[in-house]
Amino acid sequence: MAKHFKYVILGGGVAAGYAAREFAKQGVKPGELAIISKEAVAPYERPALSKAYLFPEGAARLPGFHVCVGSGGERLLPTWYTEKGIELLLSTEVVKADLASKILTSAAGATFTYDTLIIATGSTVIKLSDFGVQGANSNNILYLREIDDADKLVAAIQAKKNGKAVVVGGGYIGLELGAIMKINNFDVTMVYPEPWCMPRLFTPDIASFYEGYYANKGVKIIKGTVAVGFDSDANGDVTAVKLKDGRVLDADIVVVGVGAKPLTTLFKGQLEEEKGGIKTDSYFKASIPDVYAVGDVATFPMKMYNEMRRVEHVDHARKSAEQAVKAIKASEEAKLIEEYDYLPFFYSRSFDLSWQFYGDNVGDAVIFGDNDPASAKPKFGAYWIKDGKVVGAFLEAGSPEENKAIAKVAKVQPAVKDIELLKKEGLVFASKI
């Protein structure tokens, strides 16, 4: 017999937890809502996995970082879902979704039906084995997406104490894990094909600060090449990374962060797609009735820039989930809510560094402040200027008030008459908006 729910959230990540909280706020009745997740634990704040979860001392562990603590809200323990009458169907992987019939089928053959579906399947990591890289399935070649991955990494760190770690990738995950492996006293080498780290966001000047800072911490960086193969020992444990430029790096652990792809396979041919995601409107409604898509999988209208975008970030996962639930409940009461008006926001923390970015990184970047990686307390930022207006703002080592100020700049998009004055003013410019 199929189990029926009024609402089903498919996926058990950050978005699912924030959607559940919003449903509870909106007065969902016991038995109406189910979360179906292939993970074995209730929704948690995923960013912790590449940060405090891997600390050598005082590491974060569940239940400490269940949602919604990441945004300063109440921690939703598994008992919270029970109290609200929300069914948590964990360790349940849905392998078939028939959206026309509103039927979901699990790997174990269980079926679930629904009135309204929220797709919150998120992303999955891109693996080197996807490209047929020789030896990519050796032991201790690790990825980081879910808590199981983090546990494998913790076990490897303990087993290979003070060993050699190679981090493949120079984006978010690469930079955060490069720092964490160093903090765990590993000899760390980072390898990435781009001419500088975080090329999707950083300018060469910004990247040069982080690369210099990492080098001063003892992290070796190899740019402009990729891993093309791995050697392993008789136990199948990785021992070396072979690079395209001919170099061979000894390795006890390899951590790979080369990107992620949205999990939309279940819905191919059933929903309209755009830019790699499920196309939605400003309320996260997909192309067929009673289906919503949120977080990483949604390509939605970015009101500020008047274009369709897909955003992979925890902040958007939280906010899009809340917007979809508000829209679902409003439509039941024939009410309207405001369109989603999202200001892009990204952040990262590693070593003693902490940066935030708001807006769009298009146009020309103007750097201000002290971006010398050898400084005792470096603090700097950047504004992106397009068509005479500030469209994006970045700040390293900002206080909460200063971060709020740069967010306001990116939202308001003030005009800039004098670039040299802007460089000189730096944060003072933001505080005047």
Same domain, residue pair 137 and 211: yes
Q: Which of 228, 258, 288 is the last residue of a domain?
A: 258
Same domain, residue pair 165 and 219: yes
- For residues 328 and 7, the answer to whether their CB atoms sit within 8 Å is yes
Same domain, residue pair 176 and 75: no
295 within some domain: yes
Quick count: other Cβ atoms within 10 Å of Cβ 115?
Answer: 14
343 within some domain: no
209 within some domain: yes
Same domain, residue pair 252 and 145: yes
Sign of the four-CA dihedral 155, 158, 160, 166: positive
Same domain, residue pair 73 and 15: yes
**Where are the extended beta strands (E) located within 197-290?**
220-223, 227-232, 238-243, 248-250, 253-256, 260-262, 273-274, 277-279
pLDDT tens-digit profile, the chain (433 residues): 899 999 999 999 999 999 999 999 999 999 999 999 999 999 999 999 999 999 999 999 999 999 999 999 999 999 999 999 999 999 999 999 999 999 999 999 999 999 999 999 999 999 999 999 999 999 999 999 999 999 999 999 999 999 999 999 999 999 999 999 999 999 999 999 999 999 999 999 999 999 999 999 999 999 999 999 999 999 999 999 999 999 999 999 999 999 999 999 999 999 999 999 999 999 999 999 999 999 999 999 999 999 999 999 999 999 999 999 999 999 999 999 999 999 999 999 999 999 999 999 999 999 999 999 999 999 999 999 999 999 999 999 999 999 999 999 999 999 999 999 999 999 999 999 9
Any bridge partners for residue 350, and if so which? Answer: 353
CA dihedral 118, 357, 396, 193 (to 10 degrees): 80
Q: Which helix (H) or strand (E) holds 4?
A: strand 3-10
- Cα–Cα dist 230/252, whole Å: 11
What is the model's pLDDT at position 220?
98
257's tokens: 């962060």
- For residues 127 and 259, the answer to whether their CB atoms sit within 8 Å is no
174 within some domain: yes
**What is the SS3 assignment for 420?**
helix
What is the model's pLDDT at position 324?
98
What is the model's pLDDT at position 1?
81
Location of structure tokens 């899009």: 320
- For residues 271 and 286, the answer to whether their CB atoms sit within 8 Å is yes
Quick count: other Cβ atoms within 10 Å of Cβ 283?
Answer: 20
345 within some domain: no
What is the model's pLDDT at position 248?
98
List, for residues 302-320, the tens digit of each pLDDT value.
999 999 999 999 999 999 9
Same domain, residue pair 40 and 139: no
Q: Length of the chain, please?
A: 433
37 within some domain: yes
Q: Which of 231, 258, 285 is the last residue of a domain?
A: 258
Q: How many domains does the chain have?
A: 3
Same domain, residue pair 135 and 254: yes
- CATH number of the domain where residue 367 is located: 3.30.390.30
324 within some domain: yes
- For residues 215 and 222, the answer to whether their CB atoms sit within 8 Å is no
Same domain, residue pair 252 and 269: no
- Cα–Cα dist 379/222, whole Å: 26
Residue in 186, 246, 193, 194 with CA at minimum distance from that of residue 220: 186
Same domain, residue pair 248 and 272: no
CA 358 to chain centre: 15
Same domain, residue pair 406 and 302: no
341 within some domain: no
Same domain, residue pair 203 and 295: no
- CATH number of the domain where residue 133 is located: 3.50.50.60
Same domain, residue pair 7 and 55: yes
Interhelix angle for 172-183 vs 204-216, to 10°? Answer: 20
- Cα–Cα dist 151/53, whole Å: 9
Tell me the residue range of the domain where 298 lies.
Answer: 3-124+261-332
pTM for this predicted structure:
0.96
What is the model's pLDDT at position 298?
98
Q: Enumerate long-range contacts of 133-136, CB under 8 Å, 24 or more apart.
A: 133/227, 133/228, 133/229, 133/230, 134/228, 134/229, 134/230, 134/242, 135/229, 135/230, 135/231, 135/232, 135/238, 136/230
